[in-house]
Amino acid sequence: MFVPSHLASGYLLGKLFKKSPWTVYPFMPILLFASVLPDIDGIFSDTVAGHHSILHTPLFWIIVFGGLTLTNMVFKNIQLKPISLGLLLGTQLHLLTDWFTARTVGIQWLFPFSHKDYFLYPIRPEYGQGSVWGMIQNPYFSFYMENTCLFWIEIGVIMCGGALFIYTWINRKKYNNT
């Protein structure tokens, strides 16, 4: 999945939650940041197919969440709840959507207990031998668009996220004016 669709799916997920001590500010900014965070391993990888490091495994982020929760139990920092939940949900959503839209590399759901790669549609690692910066160029981009169902789902997620953001923004302005 591409960065704009990761951000849009993170925004849509964040909007599903009612206000609580876990979802107050900075829950949404952290959730958006975390929805793209695993892809920083792309900076350190030579190929698209090889860019999934430990950052693309669920257990790593569950351990981070556990560490932050323990820290919160000791220091009772009011912001640690929304930060830890935003980080957990954003990264797990990233992995779920990467699994769903996998084209050249899947997700190792059971790492480190198994190195098996999981994906929904058959993957073609041979198309992912270029750099991650080549993802928005051909031939990778046209290969990615070959699965039209997934491509339009990504476009749909971006449109829904964008529409909801604009709707929320307009209504906030109205609210502020009254």
Nearer to Zn ion, 39 or 154 (CB): 39
Reference 2, options 133, 129, 113; nearest CA is: 133
- Nearest distance in Å: CB 44, Zn ion: 13
Total residues contacting Zn ion (rule CB under 5 A)?
Answer: 3
Q: How far is the CB of 7 from Zn ion (least distance, A)?
A: 12
- Binding-site string for Zn ion from residue 71 to residue 110, where x marks contact by CB under 5 A and - marks none: ---------------------------x------------
Residues 35-74 that bind Zn ion (CB under 5 A): 38-39
Question: Cβ closer to Zn ion: 98 or 154?
Answer: 98
- The least distance separating Zn ion from the CB of residue 157, rounded to whole angstroms, comes to 15
Q: Minimal distance in Å, beta carbon 94 to Zn ion?
A: 6
Q: SS3 of 118, please?
A: strand
Return the structure tokens found at 174: 């109205």
Nearer to Zn ion, 22 or 41 (CB): 41
Residue 56 Cβ vs Zn ion, minimum distance, rounded to whole Å: 6
Q: How many CA atoms are closer than 13 Å to the CA of 92, on its beta-carbon side?
A: 15
Give the other-Cβ count within 10 Å of 156's Cβ: 12
Q: Which residues of 107-144 are buried (b: 16+ CB within 10 A; e: fewer)?
A: bbbebeeeeebebeeebeeebbebebeebeeeebeeeb
The phi and psi torsions of 118 (rounded to 5 degrees) equal: -110, 140
Using only C-alpha atoms, the chain has a radius of gyration, in whole angstroms, of: 18
Question: Which residue, 3 or 145, is less far from Zn ion as judged by CB?
Answer: 3
> Which positions touch Zn ion (CB under 5 A)?
38-39, 98
